[in-house]
Amino acid sequence: NAGVTQTPKFRILKIGQSMTLQCTQDMNHNYMYWYRQDPGMGLKLIYYSVGAGITDKGEVPNGYNVSRSTTEDFPLRLELAAPSQTSVYFCASSYSIRKGHNEQFFGPGTRLTVL
Amino acid sequence: KQEVTQIPAALSVPEGENLVLNCSFTDSAIYNLQWFRQDPGKGLTSLLLIQSSQREQTSGRLNASLDKSSGRSTLYIAASQPGDSATYLCAAPKAAGNKLTFGGGTRVLVKP
Protein backbone atom coordinates (compact mmCIF):
# COMPACT_ATOMS: atom_id res chain seq x y z
CA ASN A 1 0.00 0.00 0.00
CA ALA A 2 1.15 3.52 -0.77
CA GLY A 3 -0.81 4.76 2.25
CA VAL A 4 -1.85 8.42 2.10
CA THR A 5 -0.45 10.38 -0.83
CA GLN A 6 -0.66 14.11 -1.42
CA THR A 7 0.05 16.30 -4.42
CA PRO A 8 1.64 18.70 -5.02
CA LYS A 9 4.49 18.73 -2.50
CA PHE A 10 5.10 22.44 -2.89
CA ARG A 11 3.14 25.30 -4.41
CA ILE A 12 3.38 29.08 -4.56
CA LEU A 13 0.18 30.99 -5.22
CA LYS A 14 -0.58 34.62 -5.80
CA ILE A 15 -3.25 36.31 -3.71
CA GLY A 16 -6.68 35.58 -5.17
CA GLN A 17 -5.66 32.49 -7.10
CA SER A 18 -7.36 29.16 -6.54
CA MET A 19 -6.05 25.64 -6.34
CA THR A 20 -6.92 22.12 -5.27
CA LEU A 21 -4.77 20.03 -2.98
CA GLN A 22 -5.12 16.36 -3.78
CA CYS A 23 -5.25 13.54 -1.25
CA THR A 24 -5.66 9.84 -1.96
CA GLN A 25 -5.53 6.81 0.30
CA ASP A 26 -5.46 3.17 -0.74
CA MET A 27 -6.20 1.59 2.64
CA ASN A 28 -9.98 1.54 2.21
CA HIS A 29 -10.34 3.95 5.10
CA ASN A 30 -13.71 5.51 5.73
CA TYR A 31 -12.53 8.59 7.63
CA MET A 32 -10.40 11.28 6.04
CA TYR A 33 -9.14 14.59 7.42
CA TRP A 34 -7.42 17.79 6.37
CA TYR A 35 -5.16 19.61 8.82
CA ARG A 36 -2.98 22.67 8.52
CA GLN A 37 0.22 23.28 10.43
CA ASP A 38 1.58 26.78 10.86
CA PRO A 39 5.29 27.27 11.70
CA GLY A 40 6.16 26.07 15.19
CA MET A 41 2.59 25.07 15.92
CA GLY A 42 0.57 21.93 16.22
CA LEU A 43 -1.98 20.89 13.61
CA LYS A 44 -5.50 22.25 13.31
CA LEU A 45 -8.40 20.43 11.68
CA ILE A 46 -9.87 22.10 8.60
CA TYR A 47 -12.44 19.58 7.34
CA TYR A 48 -13.15 15.92 7.76
CA SER A 49 -15.24 13.21 6.12
CA VAL A 50 -16.77 10.07 7.59
CA GLY A 51 -17.42 8.48 4.22
CA ALA A 52 -18.12 9.14 0.55
CA GLY A 53 -20.58 11.98 0.15
CA ILE A 54 -20.31 13.17 3.77
CA THR A 55 -18.14 16.07 4.91
CA ASP A 56 -18.11 18.38 7.89
CA LYS A 57 -16.26 21.42 9.17
CA GLY A 58 -13.38 21.25 11.58
CA GLU A 59 -11.82 23.96 13.69
CA VAL A 60 -10.61 26.30 10.89
CA PRO A 61 -12.79 25.77 7.75
CA ASN A 62 -13.05 29.36 6.49
CA GLY A 63 -11.56 29.86 3.04
CA TYR A 64 -11.64 26.15 2.16
CA ASN A 65 -13.99 23.64 0.58
CA VAL A 66 -13.90 19.87 0.30
CA SER A 67 -15.69 17.08 -1.49
CA ARG A 68 -15.68 13.32 -1.07
CA SER A 69 -17.05 11.64 -4.18
CA THR A 70 -15.11 8.41 -3.64
CA THR A 71 -13.73 6.54 -0.64
CA GLU A 72 -10.18 7.04 -1.86
CA ASP A 73 -10.06 10.77 -2.64
CA PHE A 74 -10.55 13.84 -0.47
CA PRO A 75 -9.47 17.02 -2.30
CA LEU A 76 -9.18 20.38 -0.52
CA ARG A 77 -10.06 23.49 -2.50
CA LEU A 78 -8.82 27.04 -1.90
CA GLU A 79 -10.96 29.47 -3.87
CA LEU A 80 -9.37 32.88 -3.18
CA ALA A 81 -5.93 32.35 -1.73
CA ALA A 82 -4.85 34.71 1.04
CA PRO A 83 -1.45 35.11 2.78
CA SER A 84 -3.04 33.72 5.97
CA GLN A 85 -3.38 30.38 4.16
CA THR A 86 0.39 30.01 3.90
CA SER A 87 0.93 26.77 5.77
CA VAL A 88 1.72 23.09 5.47
CA TYR A 89 -1.35 21.01 4.73
CA PHE A 90 -1.64 17.41 5.87
CA CYS A 91 -4.20 14.86 4.84
CA ALA A 92 -4.91 11.89 7.10
CA SER A 93 -7.16 8.86 7.20
CA SER A 94 -8.42 6.21 9.59
CA TYR A 95 -10.50 3.09 9.07
CA SER A 96 -13.12 4.01 11.63
CA ILE A 97 -13.46 5.56 15.05
CA ARG A 98 -13.91 2.24 16.79
CA LYS A 99 -11.22 0.98 19.12
CA GLY A 100 -8.55 -0.93 17.31
CA HIS A 101 -9.30 0.80 14.03
CA ASN A 102 -9.03 4.49 14.87
CA GLU A 103 -5.34 5.20 14.39
CA GLN A 104 -4.79 8.08 11.98
CA PHE A 105 -2.23 7.84 9.19
CA PHE A 106 -0.80 10.98 7.64
CA GLY A 107 0.38 11.97 4.18
CA PRO A 108 3.72 13.75 3.58
CA GLY A 109 2.13 17.20 3.38
CA THR A 110 1.81 20.03 0.87
CA ARG A 111 3.78 23.20 1.58
CA LEU A 112 1.79 26.18 0.31
CA THR A 113 2.98 29.77 0.14
CA VAL A 114 0.63 32.62 -0.81
CA LEU A 115 2.34 35.83 -1.88
CA LYS B 1 -13.29 22.72 23.94
CA GLN B 2 -10.34 20.39 24.21
CA GLU B 3 -6.93 21.99 24.69
CA VAL B 4 -3.73 19.98 24.46
CA THR B 5 -0.46 21.34 25.84
CA GLN B 6 3.08 20.06 25.56
CA ILE B 7 5.74 21.42 27.88
CA PRO B 8 8.61 22.02 27.33
CA ALA B 9 8.54 23.24 23.75
CA ALA B 10 12.15 22.14 23.29
CA LEU B 11 14.45 19.69 25.00
CA SER B 12 18.13 18.84 24.59
CA VAL B 13 19.72 15.75 26.15
CA PRO B 14 23.01 13.84 25.78
CA GLU B 15 22.93 10.53 23.98
CA GLY B 16 21.98 7.62 26.22
CA GLU B 17 19.80 9.63 28.57
CA ASN B 18 16.14 8.67 28.91
CA LEU B 19 13.64 11.12 27.42
CA VAL B 20 10.42 12.10 29.17
CA LEU B 21 7.89 14.04 27.10
CA ASN B 22 4.74 15.47 28.64
CA CYS B 23 1.28 16.01 27.21
CA SER B 24 -1.65 17.57 29.08
CA PHE B 25 -5.28 17.77 28.00
CA THR B 26 -8.18 19.67 29.53
CA ASP B 27 -11.11 17.37 28.73
CA SER B 28 -10.72 13.83 30.03
CA ALA B 29 -13.50 12.51 27.76
CA ILE B 30 -10.98 11.47 25.14
CA TYR B 31 -11.43 8.54 22.81
CA ASN B 32 -7.73 7.75 22.62
CA LEU B 33 -4.41 9.54 22.63
CA GLN B 34 -1.88 9.33 19.84
CA TRP B 35 1.82 10.20 19.84
CA PHE B 36 3.50 11.23 16.59
CA ARG B 37 7.00 11.95 15.44
CA GLN B 38 7.70 14.68 12.88
CA ASP B 39 11.06 15.16 11.22
CA PRO B 40 11.88 18.62 9.76
CA GLY B 41 9.96 19.25 6.55
CA LYS B 42 8.28 15.86 6.75
CA GLY B 43 4.89 14.43 7.58
CA LEU B 44 3.78 12.78 10.80
CA THR B 45 4.65 9.23 11.75
CA SER B 46 2.40 7.54 14.26
CA LEU B 47 4.40 6.15 17.20
CA LEU B 48 1.85 4.90 19.69
CA LEU B 49 -1.88 5.01 20.18
CA ILE B 50 -3.39 4.48 23.62
CA GLN B 51 -7.07 3.71 23.80
CA SER B 52 -9.04 5.47 26.54
CA SER B 53 -9.38 2.19 28.45
CA GLN B 54 -5.62 1.56 28.51
CA ARG B 55 -3.06 2.94 30.94
CA GLU B 56 0.03 2.39 28.82
CA GLN B 57 1.33 1.20 25.49
CA THR B 58 4.82 0.02 24.59
CA SER B 59 6.75 -0.30 21.35
CA GLY B 60 10.46 -1.08 21.53
CA ARG B 61 12.22 1.74 23.41
CA LEU B 62 9.00 3.76 23.54
CA ASN B 63 6.47 3.64 26.34
CA ALA B 64 3.46 5.90 26.63
CA SER B 65 1.27 6.21 29.70
CA LEU B 66 -2.19 7.69 30.02
CA ASP B 67 -3.86 9.09 33.13
CA LYS B 68 -7.26 10.41 32.16
CA SER B 69 -8.18 11.56 35.65
CA SER B 70 -5.26 13.98 35.77
CA GLY B 71 -5.41 14.80 32.05
CA ARG B 72 -1.87 13.65 31.32
CA SER B 73 0.07 11.41 29.02
CA THR B 74 3.79 10.81 29.11
CA LEU B 75 6.02 9.43 26.38
CA TYR B 76 9.21 7.75 27.59
CA ILE B 77 12.05 7.04 25.19
CA ALA B 78 14.73 4.85 26.72
CA ALA B 79 18.43 5.21 25.98
CA SER B 80 18.03 8.11 23.56
CA GLN B 81 19.98 8.17 20.29
CA PRO B 82 20.81 11.04 17.92
CA GLY B 83 18.31 9.52 15.50
CA ASP B 84 15.57 10.27 18.03
CA SER B 85 16.03 13.99 17.34
CA ALA B 86 12.69 15.22 15.99
CA THR B 87 9.52 16.98 17.08
CA TYR B 88 7.08 14.85 19.06
CA LEU B 89 3.39 15.68 18.95
CA CYS B 90 0.54 14.32 21.01
CA ALA B 91 -3.08 14.47 19.92
CA ALA B 92 -6.38 13.47 21.47
CA PRO B 93 -9.84 13.21 19.92
CA LYS B 94 -13.09 13.60 21.72
CA ALA B 95 -15.55 10.78 21.38
CA ALA B 96 -17.22 10.74 17.99
CA GLY B 97 -15.56 11.63 14.74
CA ASN B 98 -11.99 10.98 15.84
CA LYS B 99 -11.09 14.64 15.19
CA LEU B 100 -7.66 15.15 16.67
CA THR B 101 -6.70 18.14 18.79
CA PHE B 102 -2.92 18.55 18.69
CA GLY B 103 -0.45 19.90 21.18
CA GLY B 104 2.21 22.31 19.96
CA GLY B 105 4.90 19.65 20.06
CA THR B 106 8.21 19.19 21.86
CA ARG B 107 11.32 19.60 19.73
CA VAL B 108 13.95 17.12 20.89
CA LEU B 109 17.68 17.24 20.22
CA VAL B 110 19.82 14.29 21.27
CA LYS B 111 23.48 15.28 21.28
CA PRO B 112 26.11 12.63 20.46
From chain A, the residues in CB contact with B89 under 8 A are 42-43
Does the beta carbon of A48 lie under 8 angstroms from any beta carbon of chain B? yes
Report residues of chain B scoring pLDDT below 50.
none
Nearest Cα residue to A79 out of A35, A36, A19: A19
pLDDT of A28-83, one tens digit each? 999 999 999 998 788 999 999 999 999 999 989 999 999 999 999 999 999 999 99
A91: pLDDT confidence band, cut at 50, 70 and 90? very high
Q: Under an 8 A CB cutoff, do B99 and A48 touch?
A: yes
pLDDT of A1-27, one tens digit each? 789 999 999 999 999 999 999 999 999
CA distance A44 to B102: 7
Does the beta carbon of A66 lie under 8 angstroms from any beta carbon of chain B? no
Looking at the partner chain, which of B46, B103, B104 has a beta carbon nearest the beta carbon of A103? B46
To the nearest whole Å, the CA of B13 is away from the closest chain A CA by 20
